[in-house]
Amino acid sequence: MNATAHGIRLGLHRGVREFRHSLGSEDQVYNLVVSIAFLTVLWFQRDSDVEATGVTLAALTLPSMLGLSVVMGGLVGPAGQLSLNREDGTLLRAKAVPHGMVGYLVGRTVQTSLDVTVSLLVILVPGLFLVNVLADAGAGGLLALLGALALGMLSTLPWGAVAGSITKSPGSAMGITMLPMMGLTAISGIFYPITAMPGWLQGVAQVFPIYWTGHGTRAALLPDSAGAAEIGGSWRIMEMIGVLGVWAVVGFLLAPTILRRMARRESGAEMEQRRQAAMQRVR
């Protein structure tokens, strides 16, 4: 086994171990709070029909929540973890080991993917008691759902790594990712049809992955009639693939260069400065 393959194998094991550790952490409290909040939204939307679609507002919202969860997990999770690992020295130690950065990045990817899977289940399983969107989706719909979720993850994961690389603290990493996410969520048709938004906001939303990932999950799980609530009155699958694909390709071309530059700058002195800054924040 060559050194790179060995680093990948160690990264896979590391990602699984860190995921298991996270199951007993405070992150699960966050997942529970999010689940309760989303279920509350679905409860109030369950009897609201969306005109000309043949489905309820809750049926439109549940697939959208799945898309939102993937985009948020792919962007916010890696940004916060990478920034935190720079601060506590994890990244510096990985840099000192042959092919350690390969193992580190593989581990981050594995943990993020597993964390997102838990987040999806936390939303989907209880949500099905209120909205049975899977009843008519069939095997084809489930495969389309997996494809949309995978594209959503690929389109945001490298950008989360970029955000974690250019910020100096976990707090700033959260700020640079969460604040834009909150604004884009409000205009991207996650909790209400995007066609109710002004035309210029619809244009802004269509530039970013959050709208298109939600569009893909809705297209996978909902009947064709529900496309009436979408821009243009139909499911635009090729446009979804194109936009998410561009974000993914550009991200994966850009992220390795930024990560390499960030890793080269890592040093014991830099880490100590960040550690002292973190201690000052705690005080």
pLDDT at 272 (0 to 100):
60
pLDDT at 282 over 60: no
What integer best gives the mean pLDDT of the chain?
A: 83
pLDDT at 258 over 80: yes
pLDDT at 187 over 70: yes
Given pLDDT bands bounded at 50, 70 and 90, which one contains residue 208? very high
Domain range list for the chain: 3-282
pLDDT at 236 (0 to 100):
93
- In angstroms, the CA 257 to CA 157 distance is 15
pLDDT at 248 over 60: yes
pLDDT at 261 (0 to 100):
79
pLDDT at 277 (0 to 100):
60
* Cα–Cα nearest to 189, from 169, 154, 215, 228: 215
pLDDT at 211 over 90: yes
Given pLDDT bands bounded at 50, 70 and 90, which one contains residue 176? confident
pLDDT at 62 over 80: yes
pLDDT digits (tens, 9 = 90+) for 102-151: 778 888 888 888 888 888 888 888 887 888 776 677 788 889 999 999 99
Percent of the chain with pLDDT strictly greater than 90: 25
Given pLDDT bands bounded at 50, 70 and 90, which one contains residue 212? very high
Given pLDDT bands bounded at 50, 70 and 90, which one contains residue 155? very high
Which one has a higher pLDDT value, 208 or 49?
A: 208
pLDDT at 67 (0 to 100):
93
